[in-house]
Chains A and B, each alone.
Chain A
Amino acid sequence: MPSRRVMVVPTTTSIASYVKKNAVSVKQLRKHSHQKTETIRNAEHHGHHILVRTHYEIEVDGQMLMGHMGVTNDGHVHYHPLPNLSFTSAIDLVRQLIDTFPDDFATPGTGSMRGMERKKTTTTTTTKAGHAHH
């Protein structure tokens, strides 16, 4: 049997009350900006433990992307703000971001990009891999 909660009819009052109570989880997300995102991948192979840490720092026109980028064990790259796609190339992913978020990327040569934080950094993509015997 389903929980009685699936039958509770919402009211304008109940909505306001629950949103007030739960808004903290929405606000907390704003504190999580990812200038440097790290993915930790683990796997086992012939008794060896593999751990791969991958860091992405991505810039477009000198401005850093702040969303979370991750990579799965099969090597596909994904980016939270673009949740239904994964890519074999981080470059292809960023190309898609430029197409998907036109409001955040000004026409080249016209200045700043809305929604993107200006922060000069060097562009790096680093991975570290290691293994240990068990």
Chain B
Amino acid sequence: MAITRHNLLTNDAVRQQYAQGVNLLKHEFTGPTTTSVGIPGPSQPVSTYDLFVVWHHTAMSTMTPLTQGDRNAAHRGPIFCPWHRFMLRQLELNLQRVLHDVSFGLPYWDWATDGQKTATRQKKSKVWAVDAMGGSGNPVKTGPFTFNAADPTSFRIRIEADVNGQLVQRAHGLRRALGTLVSTLPKKADTVGALALTPYDVTPWDTSSSGFRNRVEGWAPPATPALHNRVHVWVGGDMLPSSSPNDPVFYMNHCNVDRIWEAWLTQHGRDYLPLQRAPAFLKGHRINDLMSSLLSAPMRPADVLDMTSIYVYDSLAV
């Protein structure tokens, strides 16, 4: 029986479970160390949660193919939706494991609903409450991911990307700067507009493409950053670098992107492009190409096009 993924703001229990699970994964060490994954400095154990940070950064830094500078193994091309679905599912499975609850489903943040509010009210959304994701700041001082320098068990950033695009060891609290770089979140009209676009993706298969994927990723005009990208930028702080999964809100954003994709698949058919017969310069983005993996066996876009027997959303209304 499929599990249900709920709106973060309408299900208190799943919101609390999510925060609890994240903190458990943040303190689970299965053996990998900074040395074993090539991060310089003293050898330190890397938590399961932080391995997802490493994975995201690695996929984002892997050009597909190496001869061009736009598409990477998780972004700026067709692979954006399936790769993040793969990542979300792996996190969900690990949260189920540490929570001992196989019915747990990742919650999503319907940011376009908040985007209908004034800029001031967006920053006061319940998402940022003490009993949700906590607030803004450097470091964040409220909620389940509060930093306390004197408490080594408190939530902290241990691995992040530096300005040169290299993973480095750090020890600071979670940083957010809500509504600073851009003042407003995407609106309902933005998500509705994306949902209407077909096909899924189209030549030149990059940040100038006119299909659904490029719109929902947030590169398509008229206003950029848009949709997914805009949410990263609006939250700011640790949501900006390639190590953005450091902020647990990352998954709430992407779960909503996945929900929008699921709405698109339901409405337009479970089709993905490019097909496997597409030219080699699209390797890494074709329907049966193996996707970048770190903590599990790799998967293909074809494996994740129909997840309805695994999970459903409580609503596909965008």
Contacts and interface: CB of A to CB of B under 8 A. Distances in A.
Interface residues of B, number: 71
Contact of B32 (A14, A23, A37, A85): A23
B93 A10 contact: yes
A90 interface: no
Q: Which of B167, B225, B293 has the most CB of A within 10 A?
A: B293
A84 B240 contact: yes
Given A15-B295, A25-B58, A73 B31 contact: no
Nearest to A79: B165
Interface in B89-111: 89-90, 93-94, 96-97
Interface string B70-93: 101001000000000010011001
B271 interface: no
A14 to B, nearest CB: 7
A70 B69 contact: yes
B303 A3 contact: yes
B179 interface: no
Interface string B299-315: 11011111101100000
A6 B208 CA distance: 31
Interface in B136-166: 161-166
Interface in A1-35: 1-3, 5-16, 18-20, 22-23, 25-27, 29-30, 32-34
Please classify the interface of chain B as helix (H, G, I), strand (E, B), loop, or mixed, using the class held by over half of its residues: loop
Q: Which of A9, A18, A34, A96 has the most CB of B within 10 A?
A: A18
A6 B310 contact: yes
A11 to B, nearest CB: 8
Contacts of B307: 2, 6
Given A1-B306, A9-B93, A29-B61, A103 B68 contact: no
Contacts of A32: 61
A80 B294 contact: no
A45 to B, nearest CB: 14
A96 B181 CA distance: 10
Contact of A15 (B48, B168, B233): B48
B207 A72 contact: yes
A96 B228 CA distance: 19
B9 interface: no
A19 B204 CA distance: 33
B54 interface: yes
A115 interface: yes
Contacts of A81: 161-165, 241-242
Interface of A: 1-3, 5-16, 18-20, 22-23, 25-27, 29-30, 32-34, 37-40, 65-68, 70-74, 76, 78, 80-86, 96-97, 100-101, 103-105, 114-117
Given A1-B306, A3-B303, A38-B69, 17 more contacts: A1-B309, A2-B303, A3-B300, A6-B307, A8-B296, A9-B93, A12-B48, A15-B32, A19-B294, A26-B37, A34-B165, A71-B69, A72-B206, A85-B240, A103-B162, A115-B162, A115-B163
